[in-house]
Structures are given as C-alpha cells and as structure tokens.
C-alpha cells in the first residue's frame, strides 16, 4: 500500500428493522453479503477474462488489403487530328506566300497485336464520338485456345490511311487480357506556314500529363488540343510554367471537355510571349488525350512544325533518346542569326516543386559518353523552366540522361536544317518510359526511319520484331547494348517483300529506353516518338474492406 494513503473510513452504522434480533443471525447476514459481493466480483472478472480470450466480432477486424482482379476492358488509343492553321489565319492573295499548304498529307498507321494463339481481337477505327470508320479486324468466331509451344503472333494492320480528324483505334480484350494497340498520325507539307514533318503516337487517355516545349513568343504558335473519348465529362485544369516561374492564368482551371468531344486552346491567350512554356494537365472525371500543335514562322520563312505529346511524369530521373544532333559549327552559325536562338538542340527541365534541382546531365552516343562543354551540372530553378543548350558535341544520335534528388519533368529539342534563308524543322523527344516486354509501335511509310535505343548504365538486350502491312510478324532481331551508349537501327522499307508497318519491342537487363526517329531524307523534316508503355495485360487493384 502507498504511504500516502489516508486513514481508513469509519464503519457505517448497521440499521436494524423493528423486531429484528441481534443474535448470530445478524453476523450471518454480514458474512453472506460479503460472500455474495465476492462472488459477483469473481463472476465479473471471469466475464472480462472470457471476453478477452474470445475472438472479436468480425465487424471490428482489421483486414489486410486484398488484390482483386480487374476485368480486361476495351483498349482505346486516340490519334490526333492533322495540323491546321489557327482560326483567323488568312488565305493570302499571292499563292507563293499563302499560309495554306497545297502539298500537305496526313496518314494514319495502326497495329493491333494478336494473342499467343494468333487470334487478333476485334478492333476498328472510330470517330471520337464513337461512330465506326473502318474495321481493323473482325472479332474471332470462337474463343482462342492456347496451344503448346512458342506463341504464334499475327496482327491487324492499318497502313497509310488518309487522316482527317481525331480518330480512335479501339480493340476488344482477348484471352482475358487487354489488347496491345499502337498507332500514329504523320503529317508532311512542302509549302505553307505549316511546312515540315510532324508525327504523334495515338495515346491511351490519361488524367495527368506533362507537355514540354511550347513557345508563344513572336512568330511562334502553340495550340493545346484536348480530346475526351470517354462517356464521362472531363474537367481539365492546367498548371503553366515559364522561364521566370509559374504563370497564373485565370482561364486555365475548370475547362470542361464533353464526352466524345475536343477542345482547342491557344496558349498565347493564357501565357503570351513565353519562349519556354511547360503545361501540366490534370483531368477529373474522364481521362483525356492531349497534344500541343507547335509551329514557327520567321517572317515569311517556315520554321518548322511539331505535335508535342506527353512524356513521363515528374521524377528524379529522366531519359530521352533519339536526340539527333547536326554539325555543331553549322548549328552555332545558324543560332547566332536573329530569330534563330531556338533552332539549336536543347534540354528543357521543369521543376514543379518548391526546391531548386541540381541536375546531372549526360549524353551517350554510339561510342559512349560525350561531355558537354559547360559541364553536366545544371541548377534548375523551382517552379520554372530551365533550358540547357546541347551545343559543342559532335553530330550523331544521342541519349540524354538527367538525374537529380528533386523531381522534375524533361524533354529534348531536336532540329533539322542549317540555312537561315531556307525552311528548317524541329521536334521534341519527350522523357521516355523504361522498356519492358511487348511494346507495340506503328511505323509510317516513306522518308528516313530509325529506331534509337539508349542504355544509361549497366547492359541491356533489346529485341525488335518487324510487323508488315499484311499482318505478319517476322523473325525477331536483337541488339546487345552496353551501358552509356546508344544503338541506332535503320528501319528497312520491307521485310520479306512486304512494307514494314510496325515493331514489337522488348528489353531485358538494365534499364533501356527507345524512340522512333522520322525524317524526310535531304529535306529539313524531323519528328521523334518515344516508345510508349506496353499493354497492361492482366491487372489487379488493391481493395481494402472497412467502415
């Protein structure tokens, strides 16, 4: 007992009813009362003890999160519309200086891969609103039966179909998995204000996307196009970043995009005179596909066109490949001329957070690393866009690797053309995703076509399998790539006599990244398409049960 305990309380007086005797009966009553109290206490303790040993009611259990299968659904890839002059652009009175091109051509290419039994899923081309345009493959007449041995692959192919508006490549699930679908829209023009080459992959819609490389300075036009292929309205908000920090634009929030509809926004109305502009797009409700139509006009001379597409999300490491660099002396001479400062290869870094990023930038060519003349350490300011010129390095194809301890988004500019009095072109290589298994990509016809694979560290083996326009999947080829190098593979016009319309790409080993680089031969045309994520396959989601 504690030494601080007070004196014991005095006993309470015993009240006796009239006529009650004071003999031993009274003492027995006290003893019995004490025993009864003791029994009650013991019973209560037993109840508590028993309750502590019994299992809790099922409603109060904490259940470990379970993984539930997600049924495979229809895959949809949204292909952008061909490039168009912004509303209000005049047609001109002199055909020599007309902004409208007379030679513009736009084509759609698509590949839908079969399952391992060779059955191509039911697939088609449709308008954004869902109206069918053409079949890629009819649905299988019977459920595919797995066969022993190596997989037998086929493909449904759309080759060089004229493109007119936003188009959706859709495919049903097959063998319980999402279909593997790829497509691209390619545009070429030899005259007019939109002269050059632009291509963009067909995108699976997203609720979060980063688009880097926009420019709204004098002579530059940037139009953001947002398409909603779902049946749910999408409410889109834009975060805008410039060279001097975040850009507050009142009309950049709560943009409604109806189901099956597109919306175009001239970014100069939100962020005028911004030479370096990044857009972080977020959508609530329906996921959306987005591109930025970027064009340059220097006086009456076309400065190139591009369809800027989303790259990898903000992270502490970004890799871009397919960065084709021209002769450095000729590039410098062109950049020194008035109005051509943006006609040089460069890396753009956007830091969305509140802390500056110290970024280590490295370039890897076919023969190994090439050092930047100004060193590879760059401080990128928080909440803004930082541009790093990629100058003074020998001509060739490179992979750009950027790392930091702060998350950032990145993209690399590629240029083509070296004479100020002639048209030039440009492209953006967005940050790519790490290659895994069975990435499907479409390839257009004509011009120059290269596959660029970069491995920053370690070693990787990349396998690439051609798919021809007749739907055949040909023999796989592979390349072993040492860390710190870039492998460049020329795409042949044909394989076994049929035009090459796509590839299946897989990688093993250390992280590898890939892109398709398109050109116009001797003409100043360039476009770079990062290889996108493969099909999701069999997905599971975490399910937590509780109140």
Give tens-digit pLDDT for 251-271. 999 999 999 999 999 999 999
Does 182 fall in a domain? no
In the chain, % of residues over pLDDT 90: 75
Q: Judge whether residue 25 has pLDDT over 60.
A: no
In the chain, % of residues over pLDDT 70: 82
Does 10 fall in a domain? no
Q: Judge whether residue 67 has pLDDT over 50.
A: yes
Q: Judge whether residue 350 has pLDDT over 60.
A: yes
Does 19 fall in a domain? no
Percent composition of the chain: helix, strand, coil (DSSP 3-state, to 5): 10, 50, 40
Q: Could you tell me where the beta strands, DSSP code E, fall in 114-154?
A: 123-127, 132-137
Residues near 188 by beta carbon (within 8 Å), at least 6 away in sequence:
103, 104, 105, 196, 197, 447, 520, 525
CB 172 within 8 A of CB 120: no
Domain that holds residue 395: 187-542
Does 254 fall in a domain? yes
Our count of domains for the chain comes to 1
518-537 average pLDDT score:
88
Q: Judge whether residue 302 has pLDDT over 50.
A: yes
Task: Give the C-alpha separation, 184 to 225, whole Å.
Answer: 16
If one compares 11 and 439, the residue with the highest pLDDT of the two is 439
Q: Judge whether residue 410 has pLDDT over 70.
A: yes
Does 369 fall in a domain? yes
Does 267 fall in a domain? yes
Q: Which two tokens stand for residue 78?
A: 């949204």
Q: What is the pLDDT of residue 86?
A: 83
Which helix or strand (DSSP H or E) is residue 44 part of? helix 24-53
Q: What is the pLDDT of residue 541?
A: 53
Does 62 fall in a domain? no
Confidence band, pLDDT 50/70/90 cuts, at residue 146: low
The pTM (predicted TM-score) of the whole model is 0.85
Q: Give whole-number Cα distances, 310 to 206, 281, 353, 427, in Å.
A: 10, 9, 19, 13
Confidence band, pLDDT 50/70/90 cuts, at residue 26: very low
SS (H, E, C) 311-349: ECCCEEEEEEEEEEECCHHHHHHHHCCCCCCCCCCEEEE
Q: Judge whether residue 138 has pLDDT over 50.
A: yes
Lowest mean pLDDT among 27-36, 471-480, 515-524: 27-36
Q: What is the pLDDT of residue 300?
A: 87
156-162 average pLDDT score:
97
Exposed / middle / buried, residue 266 (Cβ in 10 Å: 0-12, 13-18, 19+): middle
CB 530 within 8 A of CB 441: no
Does 487 fall in a domain? yes
Going across the sheet that includes 181-189, the strands are: 155-162, 105-113, 181-189, 196-201
Residue 409: closest CA among 372, 371, 434, 383? 383
């Amino acid at each position: 007992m504690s030494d601080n305990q007070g004196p014991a309380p005095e006993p309470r007086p015993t009240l006796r009813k009239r006529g009650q005797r004071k003999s031993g009966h009274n003492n027995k009553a006290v003893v019995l009362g004490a025993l009864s109290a003791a029994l009650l206490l013991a019973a209560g303790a037993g109840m508590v003890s028993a309750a502590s040993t019994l299992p809790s009611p099922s409603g109060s259990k904490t259940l470990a999160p379970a993984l539930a299968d997600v049924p495979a659904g229809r895959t949809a890839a949204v292909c952008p519309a061909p490039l168009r002059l912004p509303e209000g652009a005049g047609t001109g009175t002199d055909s020599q200086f007309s902004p409208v091109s007379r030679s513009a051509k736009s084509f759609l290419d698509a590949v839908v891969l079969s399952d391992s039994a060779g059955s191509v899923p039911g697939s088609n081309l449709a308008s954004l609103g869902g109206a069918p345009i053409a079949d890629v493959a009819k649905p299988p007449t019977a459920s595919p039966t797995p066969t022993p041995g190596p997989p037998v692959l086929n493909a449904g192919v759309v080759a060089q179909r004229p493109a007119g508006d936003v188009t959706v490549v859709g495919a049903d699930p097959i063998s319980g998995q999402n279909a593997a679908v790829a497509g691209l829209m390619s545009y070429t023009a030899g005259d007019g204000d939109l002269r050059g080459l632009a291509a963009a992959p067909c995108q699976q819609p997203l609720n979060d996307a980063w688009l880097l490389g926009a420019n709204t300075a004098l002579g530059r036009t940037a139009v953001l196009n947002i398409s909603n292929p779902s049946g749910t309205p999408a409410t889109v908000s834009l975060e805008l970043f410039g060279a001097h920090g975040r850009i507050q634009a009142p009309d950049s929030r709560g943009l409604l995009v109806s189901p099956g509809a597109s919306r175009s926004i001239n970014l100069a109305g939100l962020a005028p005179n911004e030479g370096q502009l990044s857009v972080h797009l977020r959508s609530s409700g329906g996921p959306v596909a987005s591109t930025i139509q970027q064009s340059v006009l220097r006086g009456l001379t076309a400065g190139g066109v591009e369809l800027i597409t989303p790259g990898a999300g903000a992270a502490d490491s970004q890799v871009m490949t397919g960065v084709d660099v021209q002769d450095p002396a000729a590039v410098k001479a062109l950049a020194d001329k008035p109005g051509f400062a943006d006609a040089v290869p460069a890396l753009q870094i956007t830091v969305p957070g509140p802390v500056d990023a110290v970024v280590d930038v490295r370039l890897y060519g076919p023969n190994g690393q090439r050092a930047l003349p100004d060193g590879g350490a760059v401080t990128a300011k928080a909440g803004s866009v930082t541009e790093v010129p990629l100058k003074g390095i020998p001509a060739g194809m490179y992979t750009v690797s950027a790392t930091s301890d702060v998350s950032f988004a990145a993209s690399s500019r590629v240029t083509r053309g070296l004479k100020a009095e002639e048209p030039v072109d440009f492209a953006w290589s967005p940050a790519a995703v790490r290659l895994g298994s069975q990435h499907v990509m479409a390839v257009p016809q004509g011009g120059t076509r290269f596959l660029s694979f970069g491995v920053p560290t370690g070693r990787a083996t990349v396998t690439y399998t051609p798919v021809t326009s007749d739907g055949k999947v040909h023999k796989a080829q592979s390349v072993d790539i040492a860390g710190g190098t870039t492998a460049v593979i020329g795409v042949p016009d044909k394989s076994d006599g049929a035009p090459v319309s796509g590839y299946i790409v897989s990688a093993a080993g250390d992280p590898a990244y890939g892109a398709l680089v398109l050109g116009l031969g001797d003409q100043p045309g360039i476009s770079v398409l990062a290889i996108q994520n493969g099909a999701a396959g069999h997905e599971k989601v975490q399910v937590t049960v509780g109140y």
